[in-house]
Structure 1
Amino acid sequence: MNPHSDSLTTSGGRNALRMERRLAHPPAKVWSAITDPAHIGQWFPSEVTVDLRPGGAMTFHMPGVSGIAMSGTVTDADEPRLFAFTWGEDHLRWEITPDGDGSLLTLVHTFGDRFGGASFASGWHLCLTALSQLLDGASTAVPRDTGELHEAYIEQFDLGQGVVEDTPDGPRIRFERQLVRPAETVWAALTSGEEPAEGAQAPAGCTAREAPAGPVTEVRAPAALAYRWHPEGTVRWELGQGTGHGARLTLTQTGPRGFDADAALDAWHDRIEHLAARLLEN
């Protein structure tokens, strides 16, 4: 299964993750594996109940989680060609086409959170691996991603870039980046295990070459840290709820009019990628 054939496109605030996999089994067998709840539960990320008709209801139960279920609706059920449904605010479209003596399975996952794209892709990559193994009659046990697959999709989909935003007060640097470790682990990496305090110098791990250390103006471990790098400029790190098993990082830098925002953008990209690589070691 070649992840390099996977793609992520964005249009109108919605994102479409497209993944193609060739399976050495006829469409009818693949159809059964992706629509029969007894089979779905062996490779899909949740247990599923489904009324297999357009407009039919679906429920999604996460294994080991009681009392919580998401709902969806079947939008297409054209055996053995097309199965599509909503899952919360997302839409999943599974298309099966004959391919020699096997099938080509195409998944299109449409969702709103662009920066979750690598989490979705790495998760579906493992699910599709398990589906292939189920069809082959093998064990569907697939090792979880320890972060390397996620980071490969970050690079492939170019999800690690920041932007320079124009504001009435001047340019603002902004990065949003999904990480692969929880906020507590990220916080420890940023602060080298120390507990920063308001008024003290910002930890070196929170600075970049275009934003030297200054006094801390806000600290809420492990969720937020801000410091003043210039009399007219601040840097703020925020760690919130993300997709997968890691924190979502939002970093912003403001500064005086005329500060080199492009150089700062490059510096923060290098700093965040260094942090992401370090997290893979933990």
Structure 2
Amino acid sequence: MTDNPASVIDEGTYTVRRTIRIAAPIEAVWRAATEPEHISRWFGRTVLDGAGPGAQGTMTFPDYGAVPIRVEAMDAPHTVSYRWGNDDALGRLPDAVDEETSTVFTFTLETVTDGTQLTVVETGFELTSDPAENMASHGEGWVSELDKLVALLEGARGAEGAA
């Protein structure tokens, strides 16, 4: 499996960023980052009411519960942005994204010699009740979740129809 660096937390801009490389074609990484059935294989169980900007639904994690999520923007196969709830929204708005406390994460994909480079940037932590704690938690989360994505896609290399 490709060894990738950890997330970078920028307290001045309230962002978390992580750039990884995946030995898989951009089309496979795009599907894994945008199609609910593929997202559910490496991230949280994802259900959306449609495709493209404006689609909304939930992402459910076993020990955490359901998190509201909405597709904000999409430029296939290079960028997709999602707005999602965080700890501040738990128990308050289970079926909708809370504009006042949500964060936005954007996946940017680029074809490179050995596959695809994916950068995630999550912003909006200044809107949360504990920005430093939330950035630290999400920084660790992006390491865990994106490492699962790398393992899934690199393990599926050569398999027809892989994520």
Mark yes or no: TM-score above 0.5.
yes
Residues 52 and 77 in structure 1, CA contact (< 8 A), matched pair in contact too: no
Match of 1:85 in 2: 82
Match of 2:146 in 1: 128
Match of 2:73 in 1: 76
Task: Tell me which of the two structures has the higher relative contact order, counting C-alpha pairs closer than 8 angstroms and 6 or more residues apart.
Answer: 2
CA RMSD of aligned residues (A): 2.0
- Matches of 2:55 and 2:134 in 1, distance apart? 28
One-letter code of the match for 2:59? F
Match of 2:88 in 1: none
Report which stretch shifted further, 48-57 or 123-132.
48-57
Match of 2:10 in 1: 9
One-letter code of the match for 1:130? K
CA shift, 1:85, in A, is 0.8
- Matches of 1:119 and 1:72 in 2, distance apart? 18
Q: Select the residue among 91, 110, 120 that pairs with 1:107.
A: 120
Q: TM-score, normalised by structure 2?
A: 0.72
1:49 is paired with a residue whose SS is strand
Match of 1:237 in 2: none
1:107 is paired with a residue whose SS is strand
Show structure 1 runs of 4+ deviating over 6 A. Answer: none
After superposition, give the CA deviation of every residue in 1:151-203 in whole Å (9 maximum; x if it has no partner). xxxxxxxxxxxxxxxxxxxxxxxxxxxxxxxxxxxxxxxxxxxxxxxxxxxxx
1:136 is paired with a residue whose SS is helix
Q: TM-score, normalised by structure 1?
A: 0.43
- Matches of 1:62 and 1:104 in 2, distance apart? 26
Q: Which runs of 5+ in 1 are unaligned?
A: 139-282
**Aligned residues, how many?**
132
Residues 73 and 85 in structure 1, CA contact (< 8 A), matched pair in contact too: yes
Matches within 5 A, 1:152-191: none
Q: Which runs of 5+ in 2 are unaligned?
A: 86-101, 157-163
CA shift, 1:91, in A, is 0.8
CA shift, 1:122, in A, is 1.7
Residues 33 and 39 in structure 1, CA contact (< 8 A), matched pair in contact too: yes
Q: Percent identity?
A: 32
After superposition, give the CA deviation of every residue in 1:118-159 in whole Å (9 maximum; x if it has no partner). 222222111111101110226xxxxxxxxxxxxxxxxxxxxx
CA shift, 1:57, in A, is 1.2
One-letter code of the match for 1:129? D
One-letter code of the match for 2:9? L
Residues 59 and 66 in structure 2, CA contact (< 8 A), matched pair in contact too: yes
2:117 is paired with a residue whose SS is strand
2:54 is paired with a residue whose SS is coil
One-letter code of the match for 2:138? F
- With over 3 angstroms needed to count, the CA separation of the structure-2 counterparts of 1:74 and 1:19, relative to structure 1, is same
- Matches of 2:133 and 2:68 in 1, distance apart? 23
